[in-house]
Chains A and B, each alone.
Chain A
Amino acid sequence: MKYAQDIANATQEIFSSMIMLDVVPGEPFQRDGTKLLNGISGIIGLAGEVKGLLSIHLPNKASLDITTAFLGMDVEEVDEDVCDAVGELANMLGGSIKTILDPSGSKVQISMPSAIHGEEYAVDCLTDSESVAVPFTFNDQTFTVELQIGPKSL
């Protein structure tokens, strides 16, 4: 999928301007159906002319460090603040990708952000959707931003 560089640019801009963290993108890949372990995911749905899902998947430790930097206060467990921060990250990522998919702003709608977390869970989108996942590293930690788009969207 062609949006890997857009995801990398949007993610780096959000982290540098809002969290003061430099994140480094890695090689894009396609995430298989492997379940996510001990982590939290922020999710934004895309509807309208482009249907799909934008998600950010963070291991628990990464989510705590990012929320601590985001809020400027120590966070020690995945709680309401972490879910809110990760949801807001997904919201900003979704907004940035929406701007690329739909510059006018009227043909694609984005959902309210949501966050899910647990010891073992899956985040799947549409059957036969195209997807790309971009890994990022910061301070020896990793997270992934993933875009899934339905087959008839583009």
Chain B
Amino acid sequence: MGKTVLIVDDSNTMRKIVSRSLRQAGIDFDQILEAADGQEALDVLGANKVDVVLSDINMPNMTGLEFLKAKAEDDAIKDIPVVMISTETGADIIDEAKSYGAKGAIKKPFTPDLINETLGPLL
């Protein structure tokens, strides 16, 4: 059965770039779902089987960190791996994200190779 990725970013441009970079990295997803903030991401996870999430941190409505916290409290989705993909990659923020269950972090700007290195072991 094919795999599904959820890309969470308030920027439509960045969601397209991440989607393109996944293809360039040679990571073949059957389905690419999108959400514009953390709340939308929770809604998508509640309605779809998702194998991995790539999430921005700075987003309106519900941030990436708030999304991680809410996801960790929901038994149905808490084990879905999340990789943060953000301009915010200071040690304190990444430590906080990992304390809420994030499996890794990719700094914008990024290359397809970096996405492959980070995401590959989770699939």
Do the beta carbons of A95 and B12 come within 8 Å of each other? no
Do the beta carbons of B90 and A105 come within 8 Å of each other? yes
Do the beta carbons of A95 and B17 come within 8 Å of each other? no
Does more than half of chain A's interface fall in helix, strand or loop, or is it mixed? helix
* A85 to B9 Cα, complex, angstroms: 13
Do the beta carbons of B87 and A98 come within 8 Å of each other? yes
Distance from A69 Cβ to chain B, minimum over Cβ atoms (Å)? 11
Do the beta carbons of A103 and B58 come within 8 Å of each other? no
Chain A: how many interface residues by the 8 Å CB criterion?
28
Distance from A90 Cβ to chain B, minimum over Cβ atoms (Å)? 10
* A65 to B10 Cα, complex, angstroms: 22
Partner of A95, one of B10, B60, B88, B92: B88
Do the beta carbons of B11 and A71 come within 8 Å of each other? no
A81 within 8 A of B: yes
Do the beta carbons of A92 and B13 come within 8 Å of each other? no
Chain B interface: which of A10-18, A32-40, A132-140? A10-18
A106 within 8 A of B: yes
Q: Give 1 or 0 for each of A74-101: 1 = CB within 8 Å of chain B CB.
A: 0000000100110110011011101100
Chain B: how many interface residues by the 8 Å CB criterion?
24
B91 within 8 A of A: yes
Q: Give 1 or 0 for each of B85-123: 1 = CB within 8 Å of chain A CB.
A: 011111111100000000000011111000000000000
Distance from A87 Cβ to chain B, minimum over Cβ atoms (Å)? 7
Distance from B34 Cβ to chain A, minimum over Cβ atoms (Å)? 14
Distance from A25 Cβ to chain B, minimum over Cβ atoms (Å)? 16
B32 within 8 A of A: no
Closest to B17 in A: A18
Interface residues of A (CB under 8 A from B): 13-14, 17-18, 67, 70-72, 81, 84-85, 87-88, 91-92, 94-96, 98-99, 102-106, 110, 112-113
